[in-house]
Structure 1
Amino acid sequence: MYRDIATKLVAAIQDGIFTVKLPTEAQLMERYQASRNTIRKAIDLVYQQGLLRRVQGSGYYITNIQLQHKTVVNLSARSLFNSHVHPRTLTSKILTFDTIHGDSALSRKLNIPVDEELYRIIRLRYWHDQLYCLEKAYYLRSVVPYLSTEAVNTSIWDFINEAYGIGIANSDDYLSLTNLNKEEAELMNLAQGATHLALDSCNYYKNNGLLDFSHTIFVYPDLALYFHTTNLANN
């Protein structure tokens, strides 16, 4: 339950419901009809993602990354709130949505059997009517037996969580600079060879089972990446 409340807190922050400071624990207990312990665990999850800062004796304040004008990709949030890596109001244009069987290249990359059945999704994503990224994603059908077109058009992660109760336990993320190949350039109507930031991600659910692999190329201007690190040792 505390994970669900944490997700609602993140949404409230991103939607501008909480803009400066979180309500008190008592107010959140009433708002979400939850115990103090559940609220504290939910707040702690959000804090771990770098969305809050703790002021002793005063409470939790919203981190100012949420108030910046430029688009911020919060990579700290991937493990618990994968759907919030990107802005919440992205729109999608589906280029490919089909079922394939993995080849030797995918088998090596994902450490899965050859011929593993996968959903393949290639889509362009837009933010304020401007191209934001090109995303190529593969989902294991052994884990996600059905994906709807509506989910692919909106939020795949919301659909998976609601339909199957599956969340991300951990992920491996690789950032790199990539030069657009001919196919990528044509899909985005950009110059072949242009350099952009790419993110390769493998997401895992419970017991370290692979759920998906994605390759995302970001092309939105003024894009900022955010990482949050918590120092657990007292110096």
Structure 2
Amino acid sequence: MYHEIADQLIQAITKGQFTSKLPTEAKLMARFGVSRNTIRRAIDVVYQQGLLRRVQGSGYYINHVQLNSKHAVNLSVGAGKPLVKNSPRPTSKIVTFDKAIAATIPLATQFNVEADAEVYRVIRLRYMDAAVYALEESYYLTAVVPFLSTESVNGSIFEFLAETFNIAVIASDDYLSMTKLAEDQATLLDQKPGTHRLTLAQMNYTKNNTLFNFSKTIYADPKMSFYFHSAHLSSN
């Protein structure tokens, strides 16, 4: 329940319905017809995604993050979701979609499963404003993800999994690094082999700390911006 309320609050913030601060907990309780504890858990989800500032004794204020690039990625929300309000959603072109293939030893090590465990492999180009901005290679454990369709792979895979199987990303490990483009990667991104590009590797977990997805996204745009929200507790 609180995740659904958090999604509604995020949508309200994104659409500009709350421009300065959130309503009080009491008003939100009345609005959604839930307990204070549920509201607080929902607010905490929104806060963790970097959209709110907590001011002691005053409430939660909308965090207006200013980044120069409209292709900014909010790692607190999740890669693939635009940070800037009203940004266009990315579209996809499938390069490879393999169903139920055996995991390689390195991939099985990432997932901590046997080497012959079955995975879905999805390689796709991601577009923003009709221009390629990233090459994404991702794997999904079939033991956790029972089905992926071509339609879902063309759109938002995470949204499909959440709506169809109630599989949602509860936590993720994100690793940013500079990598050299291999020849096949360079061809897809219209770059020279050996060119360095920023790469995001992600390990995504659903409930019970279950790792279900490993992905690597290579960004073609050298001007990409990344945002991550962190809260620091005062010792005073």
Question: How does the TM-score come out when normalised to structure 1?
Answer: 0.86
Q: 2:44 aligned with 1:36, yes or no?
A: no
- Counting only pairs closer than 5 Å after superposition, residues 77-88 of structure 1 correspond to structure 2 as 77-78=77-78, 84=81
In structure 1, the partner of 2:144 is: 143
Unaligned runs of 5+ in 2: none
Once the two structures are TM-superposed, the CA of residue 17 in structure 1 deviates from its matched residue by: 3.7
Q: Distance in 2 between matches of 1:190 and 1:198?
A: 15
Q: Percent identity?
A: 51
User: More helix per residue: 1 or 2?
Assistant: 1
Q: Which secondary structure does the structure 1 equivalent of 2:76 belong to?
A: helix
Report runs of 4+ in structure 1 exceeding 6 Å deviation.
Answer: 85-88
Question: 2:88 touches 2:128 (CA, 8 Å); kept in 1?
Answer: no
CA RMSD of aligned residues (A): 2.3
* Cα shift at 1:174: 1.4
Match of 2:184 in 1: 183
Q: How far apart are residue 104 of structure 1 and its match?
A: 2.2
Report the AA paired with residue 174 of structure 1.
Y
Residues 184-203 of structure 1 aligned to structure 2 (within 5 Å): 184-203=185-204
Q: Please report how far the alpha carbon of residue 193 of structure 1 lies from its aligned counterpart in structure 2 after TM superposition.
A: 1.5
Q: Secondary structure at the match of 2:22?
A: coil
Secondary structure, counterpart of 1:126 in structure 2: strand
Determine the structure 2 residue equivalent to 1:72.
Answer: 72
Match of 2:228 in 1: 227
Matched, 1:18 2:18: yes
Q: Which amino acid aligns with 2:137?
A: K
Rounded Cα–Cα distance in structure 2 between residues aligned with 1:165 and 1:88: 25
Unpaired stretches in structure 1, ≥5 consecutive residues: none
Alignment-derived partner of residue 154 in structure 2: 153
Q: Which residue of 2 aligns with 1:173?
A: 174
Whole-angstrom distance in 1 between the partners of 2:9 and 2:136: 27
SS in 2 for 1:96: strand
Question: Which residue matches 1:6?
Answer: 6
The whole-number CA distance in structure 2 between the counterparts of 1:56 and 1:206 is: 31
